[in-house]
Structure 1
Amino acid sequence: MPLTTLPVLSLADDATAFSQAIGDSFKTFGFAMVKDFNIDRALIDRAWKLSEEFFALPEAEKRSYHDPAIAGARGYTPFGTEIAKGAKAHDLKEFWHIGRDLPAGSPLADSMPPNVWPARPAGFQEVFQELYAQFDRTGATILSRIATYLGLDEHWFDAGIEDGNSVMRLLHYPPLDITDGEAIRAGAHGDINLITLLLGAEEAGLELLGKDGEWISASPPEGAMVINVGDMLERLTNHVLPSTIHRVRNPNPERARFSRYSMPFFLHLRSDFPIATLPQCVTAENPDRYPQSILADDFLQQRLREIGLKK
């Protein structure tokens, strides 16, 4: 019988036990549910309110923060722009991207544009800069546990994610006018990055594709987040940790009439990091799929073209 229920893991557990548990969940599902993470609840609540307020602004005002030249890397991306790799229809969402503020003179500035901040709602920049920092620290902790699971030093990822090109996305799926069938708000896709930390998946709809070809619900209990493997970590581990295809749908037409909000943090490597297969993930049964390394930014740009954000 295939496993169909994701375990809920506690980041407050012993580090060794958590490393084994999240590694096993990633290996089995490409996903995990994690509670007891160190992100301030009041800050999260404030962020939800500000996100709703921003997306309620007039369309023309939101579009004034859209710059097609940077492929959606920062600021606003309008409804219907992004498309899942290989899909025929664009996703039914609009979003806002917040990235890392680089130190002056950083050699990574060419691949990481400065942030864009809206004039309103008030407090937007302060709240989301702090939330980004807390997501960043939590993601680094998760990666240290994954490093241990893979037999690496717990600090192995530190240099790779220092000034990494991580992006926090504020997502709004507007109400849909449908009377029957299902609404697919985000088509089946894999993520590009190392790992994704997702807030806002409590409402049913997020599903991952099981190894048996069946869709599995990935809606966490209250207070937990969903974390999944991205394509960069899959490549780095030679598919030992799989990047699992997932989608967002509405379980019934009634829920399509309501907005859906979520907040993924896409944890990326630094742009100049070479993604080379980890030797301990290569065996006679699992030969190296990627004998040629690729820079993280080259990998990212390739994928951005595939999903329609970059021409």
Structure 2
Amino acid sequence: MVTRTPLADTAQRLRDGMAQGVLSFPLTSFHADGSLDLDGFRTYLAGQLATNPGALFPTCGTGEFSALDEDEYGQVVTAAVEVTAGRVPVMAGTGYGYAQALRFAHIAEDAGADALLVLPHYLNKAPQDGLVEQLCRIADGTRLPLVAYQRDHVTYDAETVRRIAAIPGVIGLKDGHSDLDRLQRSTLAAPDGFLFFNGAPTAELQARAYATVGIPAYSSAVHAFAPEIANAFFQALSAGDDSRVDKLLADFYVPFVELRDRRPGYAVSLVKAAARLRGRPVGPVRPPLTDPTPADLADLEALLTTGLNLVGATR
């Protein structure tokens, strides 16, 4: 009889979830004064879960991880675990230097999270050996499995991916660079069963390209405010319905990316504004992010209507 380990079980649950739906990165709810709104978060999260995401990633980039203190972080992860009630894996974000990352990791452990997404460390560029040692120290200090996240100033070369895949506890890699040559080398260097997923901003735009190098799974910021659109795209992509995919890309996703690129921080604040337009109790973003300008908000509202109409949904 084969004895499965908790790490293997978590990896399999994530693999199964990634095959059945998009990965949900929920927003963190705040009151108008910027204080944490746990009741709003629970209500919002219940709506997200009702649309059957493959896994749930609270307190990550879309969830404004860097704006939360340790107590708030624990409350948000606890609420996510309670609302989810085991239906899908809960992978909490952690980050900064390894010492602070471990403080958040222990909070996530106590809250009942299934795994951790290791966000890029703070500020400094680092050599490949340092990136490996960072993950080694986090993995040594927590019982939770880890998925490394490369974006911004963190990039793993293929040999480094092979090395981090050998670290007990590291089960996968999320990519935010969209360097397909590097990714192909990395997938070939990694052992069978190592998880990869597309974590590019508005990942749907690159989803077909990632699939060509063996990475069909992706996270969806759009799911945070319009799961109907995100799920329709996922289903069309999975079915090979290229005309449907192209229509959604041309009429919704590309204009959304163009709007997102107008100002720094819109990758989160536009998502939150769109959720508010739909009546979701998510509140404003926290500084240093800013809410969209009135003109950009009007364009967002029109685009949201277009996207929902494309999939036969309503506001």
TM-score by length of 1: 0.27
User: Bigger relative contact order, structure 1 or 2, given CA contacts below 8 A and separation 6+?
Assistant: 1
| Greater per-residue strand proportion | 1
TM-score by length of 2: 0.26
